[in-house]
A and B are shown apart, each in its own frame.
Chain A
Amino acid sequence: MATGCEEVSAHMMELLYGELPGEDRAAIEAHLADCPSCRAELAEFRATRVAARRALDEDAPPARAHQAILRAAAAAVAAKQPQPIEARAVPARRSLWERLRARWTLPTFATIGAVAVVVLASKVFLEPAKTVELGRQAIQPTPAEPPVAPAAEGTAQPEAKEESQAAKQRKREALAPDLQGSPATRSIAEHPAQRRRAAPADGFGALGGLAKGSGAGPAHAKSPAVDDVMAAENRPVAPPAPKMAKREFAPPPPPRGGPARDEETSLGDVARLRAGKGSVSGGAGAEPSPAHAATAKRTEKADSPGLPTELERAPAASAPAPAAAPSAPVAEADEAGRAEAKDKADDSAQARSAVKPRAESPGAHADRLFTEGRWAEAARAYRDLLRRDPHNAEAARWRQRLAASEAAAAPEAPAAASPPAR
């Protein structure tokens, strides 16, 4: 079958691109062999293809797109890779927590801290009057303080006594636990004089707590007063320290070489001995125990002929001075007691165990100055007391002593030789 030029032209694309079936291809090739025009047409198409392909082959894709595609492909595979449960879950949870912490936690703590600082600062700096008032209340002897002489004011404040007893017990446990079981300690703890002495101690304990920013109670075991007591126990003989008189809240005196003279020496005696030579005799008149009276008489006889009489000194005994005796009078008491207590080691032990950490109150300080015959200083101290707390229960006595001190201070030479006239 002869193949015409139209048929070759109709199959030109298949012929050009090699898609012509075998039987058709043979017939067309036969026609091309005999038809120069069809052969020329085919040649032109092929030449066009060659030229076009030459340009198309020079086209190179941009490297930037190539790299971007490869990165995307690798990232997609990495994201699809199965991960361990921990690796998938933990980062998400941690991420959330870290975000929360970064956004909220630190600012929250910072805010809380700042608010706390502001509140504390306002309490401290914006209410100075209240703070000072609290300090004064703690410093000054409260009306609830039990009197030294239970015969006169014995049951005035039973609650305060009980609290003082409990606080005193706590202090004793903290200070000398090894003495708890000793008979001497028990006897002292049961002595009424101890209760009398404990109340002022508590008052100063509260003061000490205020001064240190800590509360009363067992914390006193770590207070400087306790440390002083413990140190004072190792002191052989503490000389009178004038500078201690300036310490308003001096640590308690050392009990070593205490003034206990016999087994009947009470805790109140020890305390009075610590407070001063004359205070023992001064307090004897208020003591209910005859033994105390005898002891006081002996002490008065040995130490101070110029001290006030017992009746005159009775108010002084009711002051909280013995309980808050500073170191200086304690040292003097040590001197007095050393002369008397050498014969009785048990009494010394009793005295040591009875010594409790406490600071001297202004009232006790004034009383001590008064009993020591330092009239000018005593007068100043009483004046200061009356100025600061004119309505105190002890105010009347302070006024009496102030008058006596002033009277004695005026003629210094006679005052030193004789007790102040009241």
Chain B
Amino acid sequence: MDGDASDEQLLAAYRGGEVRAFEKLLARYEKPIWSFLRRFVRDAEAAEDLLQEVFLRVVRDAQESGPAWKGQAKFSTWLYTIARNLCIDRARRSAVRGSGSPSPSPSMDGPTDGEAETATLHERIAAPGPATDTVVAGREAAVRIDRAVAALPDDQREVFLMREVMEMPFAEIASAVGVSEPTVKSRMRYALEKLRVALADLGDVGNGGRDAAESTGSG
């Protein structure tokens, strides 16, 4: 099977016993799912377990005579739904046990909720340090971005990750999350605004907007 095969074709081939097809599916979605999981649960070890669980569910579903995914939705949407549900289940279990792991909060479409989370975000990422180009280009920038993403409200982070990591259209995100498409766009806007504020001292974000606009204008 060539590399242009659709997700559905690859999954059908794997159901027919072709393990290579599953490997291609894994290569396509392993990294975005991992990024989503790691930033959603904010625990690398738990994210690794969830990553295996997501794809093991795909494996089991592909081997069953009556698979849960029958091609009604896009494979990526179904895959994300699995990952998201696993994250929510884990967050609920953690909340029951009283752990500090945050649980997905209800939709926070208003700026008020975002401000509350922004305060937490500032506390987390407003670490003093040299704001030089070298640092921006280096590891420090990535760490700060990670922290900024982790500081997003769950519903905004969820939409942000789906959009940026999974590259899902807003309509699919709305379908997966179960909210309207305008709500998804609103959450996305709030998330980007918070990230912009959090990364304001970084050169690329602060004064490189024009360059970024040039490079991503068509995206």
Contacts and interface: CB of A to CB of B under 8 A. Distances in A.
Interface of A: 12-14, 16-19, 39-40, 42-56, 58-62, 64-66, 68-70, 72-74, 76-77, 79-81
Contacts of B28: none
Given A65-B52, A69-B52, A58 B215 contact: no
B48 A64 contact: yes
Contacts of B164: 49, 52-53, 56
B26 A70 contact: yes
A70 B20 CA distance: 10
Interface of B: 14, 17-19, 22-23, 26, 30-31, 33-35, 38, 48, 51-52, 55-56, 59-60, 62-63, 141-142, 145-146, 148-149, 160, 163-165, 169-170, 185, 188-189, 192, 195-196, 199, 202, 204-206, 208-213, 215-219
A-B residue pairs, 7 tightest by C-beta: A43-B209, A47-B212, A43-B213, A55-B145, A61-B34, A46-B212, A47-B209
Contact of B212 (A19, A43, A64): A43
A42 B48 contact: no
A50 B204 contact: yes
Contacts, number: 150
A132 B163 CA distance: 103
Contact of B196 (A48, A66, A77): A48
Given A17-B163, A44-B196, A46-B217, A81 B17 contact: yes
A12 B189 contact: yes
Nearest to A64: B48
A402 to B, nearest CB: 101
Contact of B165 (A56, A61, A72): A56
A59 B38 contact: yes
Contacts of A16: 192, 216, 219
Residue among B55, B185, B213 with the highest chain A CB neighbour number at 10 A: B213
Contacts of B199: 48, 51
A35 to B, nearest CB: 13
B153 to A, nearest CB: 16
Given A53-B164, A64-B48, A17 B170 contact: yes
Given A12-B189, A65-B51, A51 B205 contact: yes
B23 A70 contact: yes
Contact of A65 (B48, B169, B208, B216): B48
A204 to B, nearest CB: 83
A39 B213 contact: yes
Contact of A72 (B56, B149, B218): B56
